[in-house]
Amino acid sequence: MRDAPISGHTQVFGLIGHPVRHSLSPSMYNALFARFGIDAVYLAFDVHPDHAIRVNESIRILGLVGVNLTVPFKERVLDGLDHMTIAAKEAGAVNVVTNVDGQLTGYNTDGEGFIRSLKEEKGPQPDGIHAIILGAGGAGRAVASALLDHGAQRITIMNRTLLRAQEAAKALNSSIGDTRVDAAELTAQSFSVVAKDAGLVVNCTSGPAHETINSLDPEVLSKDASWVDINYWMEHPPAVESCRSAGIRFHTGLGMLAHQGALAFELFTGYPVTGAEIRTFLLEKG
Protein backbone atom coordinates (compact mmCIF):
# COMPACT_ATOMS: atom_id res chain seq x y z
CA MET A 1 0.00 0.00 0.00
CA ARG A 2 1.38 3.43 -0.96
CA ASP A 3 2.09 5.68 2.04
CA ALA A 4 3.39 8.88 0.43
CA PRO A 5 1.01 11.09 -1.59
CA ILE A 6 1.41 11.31 -5.35
CA SER A 7 3.17 14.54 -6.28
CA GLY A 8 4.76 16.26 -9.23
CA HIS A 9 7.93 14.28 -8.49
CA THR A 10 6.21 10.89 -8.65
CA GLN A 11 7.54 8.79 -11.53
CA VAL A 12 4.87 7.34 -13.82
CA PHE A 13 5.07 3.88 -15.36
CA GLY A 14 2.36 2.01 -17.17
CA LEU A 15 0.95 -0.75 -19.32
CA ILE A 16 -0.10 0.13 -22.87
CA GLY A 17 -2.35 -2.22 -24.80
CA HIS A 18 -5.89 -3.05 -25.85
CA PRO A 19 -7.62 -4.41 -23.87
CA VAL A 20 -5.83 -4.03 -20.52
CA ARG A 21 -8.65 -3.80 -17.96
CA HIS A 22 -8.05 -7.42 -16.92
CA SER A 23 -4.35 -6.82 -16.17
CA LEU A 24 -2.80 -7.59 -12.80
CA SER A 25 0.23 -5.44 -13.62
CA PRO A 26 -0.89 -2.22 -11.85
CA SER A 27 -1.46 -3.95 -8.51
CA MET A 28 1.75 -5.95 -8.92
CA TYR A 29 4.06 -3.04 -9.74
CA ASN A 30 2.47 -0.60 -7.30
CA ALA A 31 2.97 -3.14 -4.50
CA LEU A 32 6.63 -3.48 -5.50
CA PHE A 33 7.10 0.30 -5.57
CA ALA A 34 5.68 0.50 -2.05
CA ARG A 35 7.87 -2.37 -0.86
CA PHE A 36 11.06 -0.67 -2.00
CA GLY A 37 9.95 2.85 -1.05
CA ILE A 38 10.03 4.09 -4.64
CA ASP A 39 8.09 7.28 -5.37
CA ALA A 40 6.33 5.92 -8.45
CA VAL A 41 2.92 4.87 -9.69
CA TYR A 42 1.93 2.32 -12.34
CA LEU A 43 -1.21 2.75 -14.46
CA ALA A 44 -2.98 0.84 -17.22
CA PHE A 45 -3.53 2.76 -20.48
CA ASP A 46 -6.12 1.22 -22.79
CA VAL A 47 -5.09 2.62 -26.18
CA HIS A 48 -7.03 1.95 -29.36
CA PRO A 49 -4.92 0.14 -32.01
CA ASP A 50 -5.56 3.00 -34.47
CA HIS A 51 -3.29 5.18 -32.31
CA ALA A 52 -0.27 2.86 -32.47
CA ILE A 53 1.76 5.37 -34.45
CA ARG A 54 1.49 7.85 -31.54
CA VAL A 55 2.56 5.53 -28.71
CA ASN A 56 6.30 6.28 -28.80
CA GLU A 57 5.85 10.04 -28.93
CA SER A 58 3.28 9.86 -26.14
CA ILE A 59 5.81 8.12 -23.90
CA ARG A 60 8.25 10.96 -24.54
CA ILE A 61 5.73 13.81 -24.25
CA LEU A 62 4.16 12.53 -21.04
CA GLY A 63 7.53 11.67 -19.55
CA LEU A 64 6.62 8.08 -18.77
CA VAL A 65 9.72 6.50 -17.25
CA GLY A 66 8.93 3.03 -18.50
CA VAL A 67 6.08 1.03 -19.98
CA ASN A 68 5.10 -2.54 -20.57
CA LEU A 69 3.52 -3.25 -23.94
CA THR A 70 0.95 -5.88 -24.76
CA VAL A 71 -1.16 -6.65 -27.83
CA PRO A 72 -1.33 -5.11 -30.33
CA PHE A 73 1.66 -2.78 -29.79
CA LYS A 74 4.65 -5.10 -29.28
CA GLU A 75 5.52 -4.96 -32.97
CA ARG A 76 4.01 -1.63 -33.93
CA VAL A 77 6.35 0.56 -31.86
CA LEU A 78 9.64 -0.77 -33.26
CA ASP A 79 10.21 1.96 -35.85
CA GLY A 80 9.93 4.71 -33.22
CA LEU A 81 12.55 3.34 -30.83
CA ASP A 82 16.04 4.77 -30.46
CA HIS A 83 17.63 1.52 -29.28
CA MET A 84 16.68 -2.15 -29.11
CA THR A 85 18.31 -5.19 -27.47
CA ILE A 86 19.40 -8.28 -29.39
CA ALA A 87 16.61 -10.32 -27.77
CA ALA A 88 14.06 -7.77 -28.95
CA LYS A 89 15.48 -7.79 -32.48
CA GLU A 90 15.38 -11.59 -32.63
CA ALA A 91 11.79 -11.60 -31.42
CA GLY A 92 10.78 -8.77 -33.72
CA ALA A 93 8.85 -7.31 -30.79
CA VAL A 94 9.30 -5.44 -27.51
CA ASN A 95 7.28 -5.73 -24.33
CA VAL A 96 9.27 -3.24 -22.23
CA VAL A 97 10.32 0.30 -23.14
CA THR A 98 12.43 2.55 -20.93
CA ASN A 99 12.65 6.29 -21.38
CA VAL A 100 15.94 7.96 -20.39
CA ASP A 101 16.10 11.65 -21.32
CA GLY A 102 13.74 11.05 -24.24
CA GLN A 103 15.75 8.10 -25.56
CA LEU A 104 13.51 5.03 -25.87
CA THR A 105 15.06 1.58 -25.52
CA GLY A 106 13.07 -1.54 -26.31
CA TYR A 107 13.53 -4.85 -24.49
CA ASN A 108 11.85 -8.22 -24.66
CA THR A 109 11.53 -10.07 -21.35
CA ASP A 110 8.80 -12.45 -22.56
CA GLY A 111 11.18 -15.10 -23.85
CA GLU A 112 13.48 -15.27 -20.83
CA GLY A 113 10.45 -15.02 -18.54
CA PHE A 114 8.97 -18.03 -20.29
CA ILE A 115 12.17 -20.08 -19.95
CA ARG A 116 12.46 -19.27 -16.25
CA SER A 117 8.84 -20.17 -15.58
CA LEU A 118 9.20 -23.46 -17.47
CA LYS A 119 12.20 -24.35 -15.31
CA GLU A 120 10.45 -23.30 -12.09
CA GLU A 121 7.41 -25.42 -12.94
CA LYS A 122 9.63 -28.39 -13.88
CA GLY A 123 8.46 -28.40 -17.46
CA PRO A 124 10.42 -30.00 -20.31
CA GLN A 125 14.02 -28.97 -20.88
CA PRO A 126 14.41 -26.73 -23.95
CA ASP A 127 17.65 -28.42 -25.03
CA GLY A 128 16.98 -30.73 -27.97
CA ILE A 129 13.21 -30.27 -27.89
CA HIS A 130 10.74 -29.86 -30.75
CA ALA A 131 8.37 -27.08 -29.69
CA ILE A 132 5.20 -25.93 -31.41
CA ILE A 133 4.32 -22.25 -31.09
CA LEU A 134 0.68 -21.42 -31.76
CA GLY A 135 0.57 -17.84 -33.04
CA ALA A 136 3.13 -15.81 -34.99
CA GLY A 137 2.86 -12.52 -33.09
CA GLY A 138 5.40 -10.82 -30.88
CA ALA A 139 4.93 -13.11 -27.87
CA GLY A 140 5.16 -16.25 -30.00
CA ARG A 141 8.35 -15.07 -31.68
CA ALA A 142 9.88 -14.11 -28.34
CA VAL A 143 9.18 -17.56 -26.90
CA ALA A 144 10.52 -19.24 -30.05
CA SER A 145 13.69 -17.14 -29.97
CA ALA A 146 14.33 -17.94 -26.30
CA LEU A 147 13.80 -21.66 -26.86
CA LEU A 148 16.31 -21.56 -29.74
CA ASP A 149 18.82 -19.72 -27.55
CA HIS A 150 18.44 -22.50 -24.97
CA GLY A 151 19.08 -25.31 -27.44
CA ALA A 152 15.74 -26.26 -28.97
CA GLN A 153 16.30 -28.59 -31.90
CA ARG A 154 13.23 -27.55 -33.88
CA ILE A 155 10.49 -24.94 -33.67
CA THR A 156 7.25 -25.09 -35.64
CA ILE A 157 5.27 -21.87 -35.77
CA MET A 158 1.59 -22.40 -36.55
CA ASN A 159 -0.71 -19.54 -37.44
CA ARG A 160 -4.17 -19.26 -38.96
CA THR A 161 -2.62 -17.06 -41.66
CA LEU A 162 0.13 -19.28 -43.03
CA LEU A 163 2.03 -16.40 -44.63
CA ARG A 164 2.52 -14.73 -41.25
CA ALA A 165 3.91 -17.96 -39.80
CA GLN A 166 6.27 -18.29 -42.76
CA GLU A 167 7.47 -14.71 -42.33
CA ALA A 168 8.13 -15.27 -38.62
CA ALA A 169 10.02 -18.50 -39.34
CA LYS A 170 12.11 -16.79 -42.02
CA ALA A 171 13.01 -13.91 -39.69
CA LEU A 172 14.04 -16.26 -36.88
CA ASN A 173 16.10 -18.48 -39.17
CA SER A 174 17.81 -15.42 -40.58
CA SER A 175 18.57 -14.13 -37.08
CA ILE A 176 20.14 -17.37 -35.85
CA GLY A 177 21.77 -18.28 -39.18
CA ASP A 178 20.07 -21.67 -39.18
CA THR A 179 16.97 -23.46 -40.46
CA ARG A 180 15.57 -24.89 -37.24
CA VAL A 181 12.25 -23.02 -37.56
CA ASP A 182 9.47 -24.08 -39.92
CA ALA A 183 5.89 -22.95 -40.43
CA ALA A 184 2.48 -24.54 -40.77
CA GLU A 185 -1.12 -23.44 -41.00
CA LEU A 186 -2.96 -23.57 -37.68
CA THR A 187 -5.56 -26.26 -38.31
CA ALA A 188 -6.46 -29.45 -36.47
CA GLN A 189 -5.25 -31.54 -39.41
CA SER A 190 -1.86 -29.81 -39.64
CA PHE A 191 -1.39 -30.01 -35.88
CA SER A 192 -1.94 -33.78 -35.89
CA VAL A 193 0.84 -34.12 -38.44
CA VAL A 194 3.51 -31.84 -36.96
CA ALA A 195 2.85 -32.55 -33.26
CA LYS A 196 3.73 -36.25 -33.20
CA ASP A 197 7.29 -35.71 -31.97
CA ALA A 198 6.71 -32.42 -30.12
CA GLY A 199 7.54 -32.16 -26.43
CA LEU A 200 6.09 -28.69 -25.89
CA VAL A 201 3.15 -26.68 -27.20
CA VAL A 202 2.87 -22.97 -26.38
CA ASN A 203 -0.37 -21.16 -27.14
CA CYS A 204 0.42 -17.52 -27.89
CA THR A 205 -2.76 -16.78 -29.84
CA SER A 206 -5.38 -14.26 -28.77
CA GLY A 207 -9.09 -14.72 -28.04
CA PRO A 208 -10.37 -14.99 -31.65
CA ALA A 209 -8.39 -18.23 -32.09
CA HIS A 210 -10.09 -19.86 -29.09
CA GLU A 211 -12.27 -22.18 -31.18
CA THR A 212 -9.34 -23.24 -33.36
CA ILE A 213 -7.19 -24.10 -30.34
CA ASN A 214 -10.02 -26.15 -28.86
CA SER A 215 -10.14 -28.21 -32.07
CA LEU A 216 -6.54 -29.41 -31.65
CA ASP A 217 -6.01 -32.93 -30.33
CA PRO A 218 -3.36 -33.25 -27.57
CA GLU A 219 -3.62 -37.05 -27.84
CA VAL A 220 -1.06 -36.95 -30.67
CA LEU A 221 1.59 -35.60 -28.27
CA SER A 222 3.87 -37.82 -26.23
CA LYS A 223 2.72 -38.39 -22.65
CA ASP A 224 5.66 -36.45 -21.22
CA ALA A 225 4.84 -33.34 -23.28
CA SER A 226 3.67 -30.06 -21.77
CA TRP A 227 1.15 -27.50 -23.01
CA VAL A 228 1.50 -23.85 -21.97
CA ASP A 229 -1.12 -21.14 -22.49
CA ILE A 230 0.36 -17.69 -21.93
CA ASN A 231 -3.07 -16.02 -21.62
CA TYR A 232 -2.86 -16.00 -17.83
CA TRP A 233 -6.17 -14.20 -17.25
CA MET A 234 -8.35 -16.88 -18.86
CA GLU A 235 -10.26 -18.87 -16.25
CA HIS A 236 -10.82 -21.69 -18.73
CA PRO A 237 -8.09 -21.59 -21.38
CA PRO A 238 -8.78 -23.43 -24.65
CA ALA A 239 -7.61 -27.05 -24.73
CA VAL A 240 -7.18 -27.28 -20.95
CA GLU A 241 -9.77 -30.04 -20.59
CA SER A 242 -8.57 -32.03 -23.60
CA CYS A 243 -4.98 -31.84 -22.31
CA ARG A 244 -6.00 -33.15 -18.91
CA SER A 245 -8.02 -35.94 -20.50
CA ALA A 246 -5.01 -36.88 -22.61
CA GLY A 247 -2.66 -36.81 -19.61
CA ILE A 248 -0.73 -33.84 -20.99
CA ARG A 249 0.61 -31.47 -18.36
CA PHE A 250 -0.99 -28.01 -18.68
CA HIS A 251 0.77 -24.81 -17.54
CA THR A 252 -0.97 -21.44 -17.27
CA GLY A 253 0.75 -18.20 -18.25
CA LEU A 254 1.00 -16.97 -14.65
CA GLY A 255 4.61 -18.10 -14.31
CA MET A 256 5.68 -16.32 -17.48
CA LEU A 257 3.88 -13.16 -16.32
CA ALA A 258 5.67 -13.29 -12.98
CA HIS A 259 9.15 -13.87 -14.35
CA GLN A 260 8.96 -11.38 -17.21
CA GLY A 261 7.51 -8.89 -14.71
CA ALA A 262 10.48 -9.41 -12.39
CA LEU A 263 12.88 -8.77 -15.25
CA ALA A 264 10.95 -5.66 -16.29
CA PHE A 265 10.88 -4.28 -12.73
CA GLU A 266 14.66 -4.50 -12.53
CA LEU A 267 14.95 -2.69 -15.87
CA PHE A 268 12.63 0.02 -14.58
CA THR A 269 14.18 0.54 -11.16
CA GLY A 270 17.45 -1.36 -10.78
CA TYR A 271 15.93 -3.33 -7.88
CA PRO A 272 16.07 -7.14 -8.25
CA VAL A 273 13.01 -9.21 -7.40
CA THR A 274 12.37 -12.88 -8.07
CA GLY A 275 9.68 -14.36 -10.26
CA ALA A 276 8.68 -16.63 -7.38
CA GLU A 277 7.96 -13.61 -5.18
CA ILE A 278 5.78 -12.04 -7.84
CA ARG A 279 3.98 -15.33 -8.49
CA THR A 280 3.08 -15.56 -4.79
CA PHE A 281 1.72 -12.02 -4.89
CA LEU A 282 -0.33 -12.72 -8.03
CA LEU A 283 -1.78 -15.90 -6.56
CA GLU A 284 -2.83 -14.01 -3.44
CA LYS A 285 -4.48 -11.31 -5.59
CA GLY A 286 -6.16 -13.92 -7.76
CA distance 158 to 46: 28
- C-beta pairs of 272-275 under 8 Å, 24+ apart in sequence: 273/32, 275/113, 275/116, 275/117, 275/120
Catalytic residues: 74
Is the Cα dihedral 48, 231, 142, 220 positive or negative? Answer: negative
CA distances from 88 to 9, 110, 194 (A): 31, 10, 27
Task: Report the distance separating Cα 60 and Cα 104, nearest Å.
Answer: 8
Cα–Cα separations (whole angstroms), residue 34 to 3, 4, 40, 41, 199? 8, 9, 8, 9, 41
Give the contacts of 14 (CB within 8 A, at least 6 positions apart).
42, 43, 44, 45, 64, 67, 68
d(CA 123, CA 102): 40
DSSP codes of every residue in 136-192:
-SHHHHHHHHHHHHTT-SEEEEEESSHHHHHHHHHHHHHHHTS--EEEEE-SHHHHH
**Residues 6 or more apart in contact with residue 236 via CB below 8 angstroms:** none
Pairing of strands 96-100, 103-107: antiparallel
